[in-house]
Each structure stands twice: as C-alpha cells, then as structure tokens.
Amino acid sequence: MDAMAFARLLGKIPLFAALTLTGCSSDDDTATNEPVPRQPEGGLPMLGSDCDPLVPGVCGLPFPSDVYLLADPTGKNPSGKSVRFGATTLPVGAPPNTACSPEVFYDHDGWSPSQAPMTFMPGAACPNCATPYTIPRSLEPDSPTILLEAESGRRVPHWVDFNARTPNDGLEGRADQRLVMIRPAERLKDATRYIVALRDIQTTGGVAAEPSPVFRALRDNKQLSGGTDAERWSVYARRKLYADIFKKLESAGVKRDKLQIAWDYTTATKQNITGPMVELRDKALAVVGEDGPTFVVKKVTEYATATENPNLLRQIEVTMTVPLYLTAVTPDYDPAKPLDRLNRDTTGALAQNGTMDWDVLILVPRSVESGMKHGLLQNGHGLFGSRTEGTGGTGYLSVSANRNHYIAFAVNLFGFDGASVSLAAQGLLGRCEVLKSFPERQIQGMVNQLLAMRMMMGRIAKQGITDSSGKLVLDPQWIDASLRAYRGDSQGGIMGGTYMSVSTDVTRGLLGEPGMPYNLLLPRSKDYDLYDAVLDQGYASNGISKQLVLAMTQMSWDRSEPSGFTPYMEKDLLPNTPAHHVIMHVGRGDHEVTTFGAHIMARAIGAALLESDDPAKPVWESLFGIDQVKTPVSDRSVLVEYEFGLPPNPALDLPSRAGCNPHDRVRVLGPSYDQQDVFFRTGRIDWSCKGACNCQDDGSDPNSEDGCTESFANECK
C-alpha cells in the first residue's frame, strides 16, 4: 500500500485521524469542537484533491509547497521525501498533450533552492514591496512579504516580481494572470524548510486583497463555512501544520491576524541536487584515466600567412570517444524515439551505456613559433551555440590564444547546443518529460567538457597530435599542462559556474556575462522573446501556467545549472573536488543576461566586488550582500562591473533594451584579456582598467578602455 492510500485509509477512522493530523495537546491550534470532515476519495493527504484551495481556481498554487512533499515509498531519496503532485495538479499543454505526469518529479526529495515561491492574488499590487533595488526593504519589520528560515527564524532577503511578461494584467477588462513571485536575493540553503507569508497586499483598486476562505479559516482558527468536502478536509488536515507556521511567524514578529496567505516548503538535499553530476563525473574520469579519452584527427586547417589569419597557425578538429551514461544519444531531437535519460541500473546507480563520439576544436596560435610554453584554455559557448564561437581570425578566443599564449579549445555543450533547440521547443510546447531529459543531457555534456580538458592535459600534452600524413601539427613541447583555465561568456559564463564548481583539473576561470538561476534570467533576457512566444503556443498565452513551467523546470535544471553548484565552488566543497576561484565580468545594462543574476551568483560563491586601490578608480555602485575588496586580490573570487552609459536594468522581470547592448563587449576589451591572463597564471587579480572600467561610446571619456571603439562598431552598428 502506498503512502497516499495509507493516509486515505487512516482518514476514514475519525478518532485516529483526529489524533494523527491535528494532535491532542493543549497548545494545538484547532477550531473549537471542529467535527472530523469526510475525507474525499483520492487526492493528496492534506488536500483531499489534486489542487490546493489556498489559491482557489488555480491548481498548483501556491508553489512550491510541502503539501506535495510526501514520504518516499522507494527509500531512494536522501531526505526520505518525494515530490508527489496529483494527477491533475500541473499545467496542461496544448492538445493533444495532457497534464504533466507527477512521476517526472518523484526522484526530487525537496524543492529548488533557487526558484521563486509564488502565489496568485487577483488584482494584486504592492507599491511598498521590495524591488531588486530596495532588497533591504524585505528585511524590515513591516515588509509586506516575508521569506523565513523556519527553524532559525532568519528573514531571507528578497524582492517581489509580478510577471510582467503576460499581457493578461487584469486591466481594461483583461484577465489577470500575474503571479506574486518572491525572488530570493540569495541562493537558499539545501534541506531547509522555509515559510512564505504575505500581508498588506492591495489590489489595483487600492483595497486590501482578501485571503481565500480556506486560509481565513486556518488563520482565524474557525471552521470553514460551506465549501466542498476537499476544502473542509484541507482545513482540518492542516490545523497542526498551520499552528506551527503561525507560531514561527509570530516568533519572528509577524502577527497572524493580517496575513493574507502563508505556506511552507523544504528545499532538496545537496546530495539530491549535485549527486548525479558528481557520480557521472567520477565514473567517467575513472574510465578514461589520467590520459583522458582517445581521439582521432578529423580535420586540420592551415593558415599559411598572418594575412590569412593574424592569430592562428592552424585549427585542428578531433573526435574524442567518451563513456556514455545516457539511455541513448540523440543529438537531434527525434519525436519517434524515446527521450535521452540518465542510464541507471536496478539499484539506482548510474551505469555506463557504451560510448559516444564528441568533437573538439583546438586552436594553435601563431605565438607557438616563439618557443614559449602555452597553457591550456577551454572556452564555453553562448546560448544554444557551438564550439566554433570566437575562433575566426580576429575572434576573441583566437586573440586570447595568440595574445596571451594559450592552446585554446572548445566542445559543444551536449544538451545545450544548437542541436538541442528542437528538444527545448518540445518542452515549451507542453511535453513534460523534456523537463527531465533536457538537463540530464546537460549533465553528460558538462562531463564531456571535463573529459576534453583531461584529454588535452593528458594524452595530447604527452603525445601531441599528428595529421594523416604523419606531420606533427600540435607539438607537445608547446604545452605547459600545469597551466589550465576555463573561460566562457553568456551561456558559457552561466554554465561555467557549474564547470568551475565540479572540475577536478581546473581551479581558475573567467565567467563572462554570468548569472543564475535560469528561471530568473530567462524572462529578463531579450533572447527569451522567441521562447516566450513558443510557450504561448504550448500554454495558450497563460501567464500562470508559463510561470509554473519555469518553476518546474528549475527543479530539474538545478542538477546541471550553476544554481545547484556554485555554493560549493570555494567552500563546502563537493566530494573529491578542489576549491576554485573565478573572475566574473559583467556589463551593466546587459540586454541578455541581467546583472541581478550575476549578483545572486556572486553571493552564492562568496565573490567580492572588486575595487581599485586607487580612489580615482571607483566601483560604480555598492551591491547588497556583496563585500568589496581592493586590489590586488588572491585566493578568492571577484566580480568586476563594466559601465557603458546605459540606464539601470528594469526593476520588473523584463529585459533591458536601451541603447547599445553591452552583451559580449567586455570580453574583447584590453583589461579583460590582461586581468584574466594574470589571474590564470598567478592567482592574483589586479585592477586592469584605465579608470573605472567603462566605455563611453560617444568618445567623451579619455579613460575609455582599449577595445571600446571596436566593440561598439562590431556589436552596435
């Protein structure tokens, strides 16, 4: 008998149900003489249905909520819990799709530490709520929104979003599909219970928003008047839970009488989130050993003269063979085939399923002719991009290789490259299983990146590469295998946060245009316009369903994206993993990756905002929850912000669109090349800018950085 069936059986025994669900001690918060209501057949133990009547008429809200976190009947989840939605709890995509199967989430033992808890209050408005620019407001005693660590009583800094992407804003006769979203300003703790509470939320008409009848009955300790059997059961079944919630809120100075809604949720364990990546990494590295994967040469492109290519002597394409831990390899989405998933044996352990071939692009710069040793520099590409980014004659990766003496190389991030677009689209159109397949492919893809570095520092550094004629096209004498670094921009800077948390071979990296989590980044990116339009087709332009899909996706995405890993980059390290340090390069006013996401990543890592020891070269602004440190700095991660004379990011969950998009400009500026090179080689971080790290595109500032004019011409004209 499963846990839900057992709970329903107990609920049919009135005396036992009264003792187990509400308790019998004198301090229990139960309505006087409340009769035991009939528990409906089916539904979830605390709800009596698949939907939570705390938010009537909108199934799945509030989200996330521990009413869906039940005992794990398999015994495999680390916390002993399992996320168990009802059969009809989750959104329904476009026909012929059905509601997302709850089985997709059974292996999660809690909720994402990086998603925004959300609810729906028709016509809600909150001019006094915290914004991304007034985060301390969320910690004030009278803040309308509270995010509380349940056991410690600590208030968590946050801001409030109303999903501005939906045109259904409740005005001028339109339906209201805006959710109230509590955005944590920091990555939450693993395996920790949180309480969300809202009060003093008004409607656009200027009156207080009314709590739902079910919440009012819980708050006021009264029986529910009227309502369905499921609603009456849900009030009765949650009396003891809400006695604890109200007690903890009152201990934190939050009185219950003005609350409009409150609920709790518990984040997943560290093992549940990071375990698959670490397990796959360790098993794959053990298979390939110190030398790394074997490879075959696919193509060599020679550049005879500097006129033909000023930075590169040649490009080499090789195909490496790596162990596969997916059920299949489908680089291109094929709806006729089963989706790729992690391949597990009967015990739940990851099992190798043969091998896969994956291409690696290697750049040999002209600087090898100097006789100097060259380090190894791995590049991470942009959103749904490829390994060829930045590899043209004057591309940023070619320039970096030649200017700073590196053998540069890159692979496609399997599961998040151009071939994965069609798969992602299927998820946006309502195929819920994609929410698991998409990030699980990225776990294999991330490990493929690690294996490429192992191959370069092992087999290739020892043997070099010869072409089909026997010519030595990469001399091992050119390589200093002890100097290894990662750099990436946009998606490469974002997912680089994962790389730089799990790599066993690289401990210094550059993250350009980084940020996390994706459920925050996507709506605030201009690149999301297209994906949002696809979601509109999948979910009938329903702003509520689309936000739920992003939240559901985040639960699985935590296992591959940086929100699951960056807290363990410098401290509280993952098993068998060294400490890592990074430089984060951010362009203020970025149209594609909001700087708010970079700030959350910096807080998770413990990175400090870098400032010059010269008072004439200030930082642009202080940032909430982020320390400032003066150069030079060693043995820690830092954030460096570049200014382009643009307006601040919108406080709403919308992208910046003003002026010239600074995205991809920082990486081609002189101080960016110089700062990262010194860091990669020595671990020291200097102030490399002429002044306060800025590009004034009108040419008015003589301290504009080297490369500003060229980057403006390339990106903005």
pLDDT digits 0-9 by tens, 133-178: 999 999 999 999 999 999 999 999 999 999 999 998 888 889 999 9
pLDDT of residue 24: 34
pTM, to two decimals: 0.94
pLDDT in tens, 525-573: 999 999 999 998 888 889 999 999 999 999 999 999 999 999 999 999 9
Q: How large is the average pLDDT for residues 74-97? A: 89
Using left for φ > 0, alpha for ψ between -120 and 50, and beta otherwise, residue 664 falls in left
Query: Could you tell me which residue, 15 or 312, shows the higher pLDDT?
Result: 312
Segment among 19-28, 32-41, 288-297, 659-668 with least mean pLDDT: 19-28
Residue type, 615: P
pLDDT value at 11 more than 60: no
Give the whole-number percent of the chain exceeding pLDDT 90: 82
pLDDT value at 598 more than 80: yes
Question: What 3-state class would DSSP assign to 63?
Answer: strand
Residue type, 598: A
Q: How far apart are CA 473 and CA 460, in angstroms?
A: 11
Measuring CA to CA, which residue among 488, 486, 484 is closest to residue 381? 488
pLDDT of residue 29: 58
pLDDT value at 378 more than 70: yes
HEC letters along 320-362: EEEECCECCCCCCCCCCCCCCCECECCCCCECCCCEEEEEEEE
Asked if residue 484 lies in contact with residue 457, where contact means CB atoms within 8 angstroms, the answer is yes
Q: How far apart are CA 349 and CA 351, in angstroms?
A: 6
Radius of gyration of the chain, Cα coordinates, nearest whole angstrom: 27
Indicate the helix (H) or strand (E) that contains 376: strand 374-380
Indicate the helix (H) or strand (E) that contains 148: strand 145-149
Q: Give the chain's length.
A: 717
Q: Band of the pLDDT at 28, cuts 50, 70, 90? A: low
